[in-house]
């Protein structure tokens, strides 16, 4: 079996499952974010359903609307607090209490290798960074919250073998953008597939693994899975809130297709405005003037991502006319940035640090773009209007590329700052 | 599950091509952005941008037949209207989350129906059995077998989708608890 099949078989109480089967897995937990609570609770209330399948296995996270910028958001926040109380959910991570729901469960040892969970949001693919699997339930999250499961087609998996090691200044997000471009040109379809990594992946830290989950998600992958290395197992054991059993694919696992990617000569990548898979070598767009830069999101919001950016910004200044927003993924990362003196680095550079969460990437609730402006950022997606004016251009890069570009005021290869 | 549920539909063919997106193809973008989920609000705009007046011409039992990659995006609005109008949906392929959204709205839907657009034209007299998995084109005297709706999803579709299924689940649970 593939790793995805093994995890779903275990969660479904079956010895084995095959891609294409429909199963009803019991999740280790369920995550719903702040934007979905109100509609979901109102739908359940309308049916008279006033209790959840197991409140102790539910996490309500607050990452999309952390700083209420309008009356609607204020009302939603108040509703969510009452909902948590009414449902008896102790795992309610209100604004300021956790951060990004696709990052803090990993950092806090709530999400561990081999686990399975349901989430309303598609970026739960980040679970693969630690060697777990999460399935997006979307609007059916109400059924999951009420009954504990929903019908789940076991996804096919695609095996991606990484060869070589990246050069200094090239990071997992660069690999992700490049992979997106390759997949787009190929006949490999990621729709509802799990991308299972193999090959020379031991050097990938947890943050790098999480970062590589982003672009395939935007190309409709339902999951990305890294078999956990010794380093990842150590990371998980240090913080585990419960026992766990890591899962690895069988040697004779059946994959929908197999790909190999040599990353040794990869240059820093930039995704052109429109989609993360519209990747090109950074050198092709070097010099494009930018007005806005943003480091964060579930694709690049872990401590290590911010540390890389801070390393470039240290004792340097953001260019006049550029605003640089730094959004730590989690409250724990913000505290650690403070302890390590990196908050000061960002502030001395002229950047400003926003509360933990999705930042501008959550459908434009803060840090927006004006008509005609240009952003270089680490958002997960860059369709027109992702955050702000539809005629603004959003380029995507690694945290290092964004930091370097913020310093010069134009898209810049970070290797010149290392 | 209601015994009377109609798994076999007979009606006219409405044929669409490949890559019809949900937003701007099945329903106008503003229906999605405006979060319209009441069928009476959506029905007048179903296929409005590709086939103006569709909602006035279609009748219960009619079959929408599409090419590949139908309904891009995990949106439910158009399927809510299709279900309310009693239409069936037969596609050469759908992105998985589009299929999931259609099932969740209780639409009788079959996907992975290879080359189905080659055996029918607009207005043909079609008979489709979604439980047994076949399409008969009575106009052209052609029959094809396709993957039916999986057994485990029958109850969900017969109860009208997620909301109906959940309502029934809750009623059953309450009656079990009080028994």
Question: What count of Cα atoms within 13 Å lies in the side-chain half-sphere of residue A222?
Answer: 27
Higher pLDDT, A350 or B73: A350
Give the torsion through C-alpha atoms of A153, B119, B73, B98, to 10 deg. Answer: -30
Contact A192 B156 (CB under 8 A): no
More confident residue, A333 or B30: A333
Using the structure block, give the residue that is written with the tokens 């969900």: B156
Q: What rounded mean pLDDT belongs to chain B? A: 94
CA B95 to chain A, closest CA, distance in angstroms equals 6
Q: pLDDT band at residue B1, thresholds of 50, 70 and 90?
A: low
Q: Which chain A residues contact residue B153 at CB under 8 A? A: 22, 151
Contact status, residue A206 vs residue A302, Cβ threshold 8 Å: yes
Per-residue DSSP letter, A72? H
CB pairs under 8 A between A and B: 48
Asked if residue B119 has pLDDT above 70, the reply is yes
**Distance, CA of B127 to CA of A245 (rounded, Å):** 51
Q: What was the pLDDT predicted at A357?
A: 96
Find the helix packing angle between A37-46 and A71-87, rounded to 10°. Answer: 50
pLDDT tens string, chain A, 418 residues long: the values are 999 999 999 999 999 999 999 999 999 999 999 999 999 999 999 999 999 999 999 999 999 999 998 999 999 999 999 999 999 999 999 999 999 999 999 999 999 999 999 999 999 999 999 999 999 999 899 999 999 999 999 999 999 999 999 999 999 999 999 999 999 999 999 999 999 999 999 999 999 999 999 999 999 999 999 999 999 999 999 999 999 999 999 999 999 999 999 999 999 999 999 999 999 999 999 999 999 999 999 999 999 999 999 999 999 999 999 999 999 999 999 999 999 999 999 999 999 999 999 999 987 678 999 999 999 999 999 999 999 999 999 999 999 999 999 999 999 999 999 9
B152 vs A22, A191, A220: nearest CB: A22
Strands A323-326 and A352-353, bridge-based pairing:
parallel
Q: Let me know: does A21 contact A109? Beta carbons within 8 Å.
A: no
Contact A77, A95 (CB under 8 A): yes
**Chain A residues touching chain B at CB-CB below 8 Å:** 22, 43-44, 47-49, 136, 138-140, 142-143, 146-147, 151, 153, 191-192, 220, 222
Nearest chain B residue (CA) to A221: B96
What gap in Å lies between CA A145 and CA B177, rounded to an integer? 19
Instruction: Determine how many CB atoms are found less than 10 A away from the CB of residue A148.
Output: 17
Whose tokens are 């193999």? That residue is: A198
Q: Which residue has the tokens 């929408």?
A: B64
Token pair 């109008």: residue: B85
| ipTM of the shown complex | 0.94
List the structure tokens of A315.
């004792």
Residues of B in contact with A142 (CB under 8 A): 162, 166
Q: Please give the structure tokens belonging to residue A336.
A: 């650690």
User: In whole angstroms, what is the distance from residue A329 CA to residue A352 CA?
Assistant: 15
- Separation between Cα atoms, residue A277 and residue A288, nearest integer Å: 19
Interface of B with A (CB under 8 A): 74, 76, 95-97, 100-101, 104, 150, 152-153, 156, 162-163, 165-167, 169-170
pLDDT at B49: 87
Quick check: B2 pLDDT over 70? Answer: no
Top residue of A138, A148, A157 to mutate, by most chain B CBs within 10 Å, is A138
Long-range contact pairs involving A336-342 (C-beta distance under 8 Å, separation at least 24):
A336/A303, A337/A303, A337/A306, A337/A310, A340/A307, A342/A306, A342/A307, A342/A310
Task: From B156, B145, B17, B9, select the one nearest B91 (Cα to Cα).
Answer: B17
Max CA separation in chain B (angstroms): 56
Q: The tokens of A309 are what? A: 């950016």
Instruction: Say if CB B133 and CB B154 are below 8 A apart.
Output: no
In the block, tokens 């379809």 appear at: A189
Instruction: Name the residue of chain A whose CA is nearest to B149's CA.
Output: A22
């Amino acid at each position: 079996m593939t790793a995805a099949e093994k995890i779903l078989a275990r969660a479904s109480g079956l010895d084995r499952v095959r891609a294409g089967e429909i199963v009803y897995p019991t999740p280790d937990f369920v995550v719903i974010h702040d934007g979905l609570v109100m509609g979901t609770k109102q739908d359940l209330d309308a049916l008279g359903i006033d209790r959840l399948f197991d409140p102790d296995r539910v996490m309500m996270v607050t990452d999309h609307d952390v700083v209420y910028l309008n009356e609607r958001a204020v009302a939603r926040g108040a509703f969510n607090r009452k909902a948590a109380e009414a449902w008896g959910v102790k795992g309610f991570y209100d604004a300021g209490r956790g951060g990004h729901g696709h990052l803090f469960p990993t950092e806090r040892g709530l999400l561990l290798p081999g686990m399975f969970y349901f989430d309303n949001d598609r970026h739960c693919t980040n679970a693969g960074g630690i060697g777990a699997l999460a399935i997006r339930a979307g609007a059916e999250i109400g059924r999951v919250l009420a009954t504990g499961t929903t019908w789940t087609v076991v996804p096919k998996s695609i095996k991606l073998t990484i060869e070589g090691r990246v050069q200094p200044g090239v990071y997992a997000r660069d690999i992700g953008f490049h992979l997106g471009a390759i997949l787009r040109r190929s006949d490999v379809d990621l729709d509802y597939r799990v991308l299972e990594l193999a090959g020379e992946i031991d050097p990938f830290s947890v943050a790098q693994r999480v970062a590589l989950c982003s672009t395939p998600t935007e190309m409709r992958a339902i999951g990305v899975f890294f078999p956990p290395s010794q380093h990842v197992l150590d990371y998980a054991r240090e913080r585990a809130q419960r026992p766990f059993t890591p899962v690895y694919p069988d040697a004779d696992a059946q994959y929908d297709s197999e790909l190999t990617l040599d990353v040794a000569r990869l240059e820093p990548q930039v995704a052109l405005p429109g989609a993360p898979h519209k990747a090109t070598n950074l050198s092709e767009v070097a010099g494009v003037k930018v007005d806005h830069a943003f480091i964060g999101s579930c694709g690049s919001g872990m401590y290590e991502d911010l540390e890389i950016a801070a390393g470039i910004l240290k004792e340097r200044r953001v260019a006049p006319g550029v605003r640089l927003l730094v959004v730590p993924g989690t409250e724990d990362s913000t505290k650690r940035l403070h302890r390590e003196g990196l908050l000061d680095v960002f502030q001395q550079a002229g950047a400003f640090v926003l509360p933990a969460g999705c930042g501008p990437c959550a459908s434009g609730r803060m840090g927006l773009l004006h008509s005609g402006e240009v952003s270089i950022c680490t958002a997960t997606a860059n369709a027109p209007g992702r955050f702000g004016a539809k005629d603004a251009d959003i380029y995507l890069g690694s945290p290092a590329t964004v930091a370097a570009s913020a310093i010069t005021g134009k898209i810049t290869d970070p290797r010149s700052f290392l | 599950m209601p015994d009377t549920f109609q798994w076999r539909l007979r009606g006219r063919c409405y044929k669409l091509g490949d890559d019809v997106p949900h937003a701007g193809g099945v329903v106008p973008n503003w229906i999605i952005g405006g979060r319209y989920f009441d069928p009476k609000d959506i029905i007048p705009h179903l296929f409005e941008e590709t086939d103006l007046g569709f909602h006035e011409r279609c009748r219960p039992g009619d079959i929408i037949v599409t090419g590949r990659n139908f309904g891009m995006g995990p949106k439910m609005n158009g399927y809510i209207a299709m279900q309310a109008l009693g239409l069936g949906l037969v596609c050469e392929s759908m992105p998985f989350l589009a299929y999931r959204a259609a099932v969740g709205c209780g639409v009788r839907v079959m996907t992975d129906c290879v080359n189905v657009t080659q055996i029918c034209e607009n207005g043909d007299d079609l008979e489709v059995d979604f439980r047994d998995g076949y399409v008969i084109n009575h106009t052209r005297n052609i029959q094809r077998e396709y993957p039916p709706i999986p057994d485990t999803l029958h109850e969900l579709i017969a109860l009208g989708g997620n909301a109906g299924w959940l309502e029934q689940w809750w009623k059953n649970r309450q009656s079990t608890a009080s028994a």
